[in-house]
Amino acid sequence: MYTNAGLSVRPWVISQTAVASTSVTRLSKWASMASPLFSAGLLPTPSSSRESCREGRISGNCEWERRRNSGIKRVGLLRAKLGRGDFGWIRKQNGLGLGLQTQVKDGRDLLVPSARRGFLTELQSLREETENPPGPVEFESPLGVILYPDPRLRKKNKKISVFDERLQELVTEMFDVMYKTDGVGLSAPQVGVNVQLMLYNPEGERGKGQEYVLVNPKIVKYSKQRDIFKEGCLSFPELEADVERPLNVRVEAQDVKGKKFAISLKGWQARIFQHEYDHLEGILFHDRMTTEAVSTILPGLVQLEEAYEKASGLPAPEKVNRV
């Protein structure tokens, strides 16, 4: 249980077999718990609070506006943007708040959640469950690598919650695709499956090296040391350019059976992981390049965009800056 200044929040356990009814129950609990905060002005209402404050129609939730306009530092405030709704500013005053801390660095206030941030975590978790209810991974065989600028490369990737034979089948088929295309790593969105799954083999050859599978990975630590290396990508055939990345990373993830683990990666493996991890975040390798590096592959990017338009009959969903 999370407790702060008389406010208690208990995490709720979600049953995968009753997600819809449980989510409704949690919404009801959240509403009843948040109602006093809205009434007391500790939480602005999601509807047009800023505009009403500016126009003088309300006063209870205008603290954030007065602070911004007066130049007062936003001490003890946290911006919580959850989904489409804008829950505005959460105020910590006279001991109240939701476990927030203020740190000072270089004379600036850095607003960070403390360890007791369960309330906000619950809201984020609830939003994700509502948008992406737990279920088995869905895909159609045979898989193939999709090319830039296919919009699926930029889509949000769903967290995997069901670890079954279907997931293992996806992993097996992804390795097949990776080896056939001479890759050393591959992410699920690159084969049109928008889930948080990536895999790699540093040797890039079946039967050699070690195969790694990471489900729902997160980078928890980067090294300060960085290096520059020429990268390629299966979604950008025959295009290579320099990309700068941290030399080492510390990663937490789950395996194909759902077991959690942590691993430290260095050098070549760290670079492969970061490249594939970027795909799970909707980031493509040319996003990490300098302008000079992008210019070296610009003709190839333009060709891929034109090929997409010709094949789909649609305008490219994104185009690289041609200047």
CATH number for the domain harbouring residue 158: 3.90.45.10
Which residue range forms the structural domain that includes residue 68? 2-131
Pair 126, 192 in one domain: no
For residues 181 and 284, membership in a common domain is answered with yes
Q: Is residue 136 part of a domain?
A: no
- Point out the domain boundary residue: 75, 100, 131: 131
Q: Note whether residue 300 is domain-resident.
A: yes
pLDDT of 195 above 80: yes
Q: What is the predicted pLDDT for the residue at 130?
A: 58
**Among 304, 306, 227, CA closest to 268:** 227
Which pLDDT does position 27 carry in this prediction? 53
162 and 120 within one domain: no
In SS3 terms, the chain reads as: CEEECCEEECCCCCCCCCHHHHHHHHHHHHHHHHHHHHHCCCCCCCCCHHHHHHCCCCCCCCHHHHHHHHCCCCCCEEEEEECCEEEEEEECCCCCCCCEEEEEECCEEEEEECCCCHHHHHHHHHHHHHHCCCCCCCCCCCCCCCCCCCHHHCCCCECCCCCCHHHHHHHHHHHHHHHHCCCCEEEHHHHCCCECEEEECCCCCCCCCCCEEEEEEEEEEECCCEEEEEEEECCEEEEEEEEEEECEEEEEEECCCCCEEEEEEEHHHHHHHHHHHHHHCCCCHHHHCCHHHHHHHHHHHHHHHHHHHHHHCCCCCCCCCCC
Decide if 8 is inside a domain: yes
Q: Note whether 158 and 307 are same-domain residues.
A: yes
User: Do both 97 and 216 map to the same domain?
Assistant: no
Does the pLDDT of residue 183 top 90, yes or no?
yes
**CA distance to 42, 162, 163, 165, 170, per residue, from 194 (Å):** 37, 14, 16, 18, 12
- Co-location of 289 and 172 in the same domain: yes
* Pair (159, 306) in one structural domain: yes
Residues 88 and 182 in one domain: no
Are 58 and 185 contained in the same domain? no
Which of 131, 164, 197 delimits the end of a domain?
Answer: 131
Look at the chain and report how many structural domains it folds into: 2
Average pLDDT, the chain: 76
pLDDT tens sequence across 249-286: 999 999 999 999 999 999 999 999 999 999 999 999 99
In a domain, 157, yes or no: yes
In a domain, 40, yes or no: yes
CB 159 within 8 A of CB 128: yes
Q: Is 137 inside a domain boundary? A: no
On whether residue 145 sits in a domain, the answer given is no
Taking 50 as the threshold, does the pLDDT of residue 316 lie above it?
yes
pLDDT of residue 34: 57
**234: buried, middle or exposed (CB in 10 Å: 19+, 13-18, 0-12)?**
buried
Residues 187 and 286 in one domain: yes
In terms of domains, do 307 and 159 share one? yes
138-151 mean pLDDT? 96
Does pLDDT of 214 surpass 80? yes
pLDDT of residue 25: 55
pLDDT band with cut points at 50, 70 and 90 for residue 54: very low
Average pLDDT of the segment spanning 95-115: 40
Examine residue 103 and state whether it is found in any structural domain, yes or no.
Answer: yes
Catalogue the active-site residues: 276
Residues 62 and 168 grouped into a single domain: no
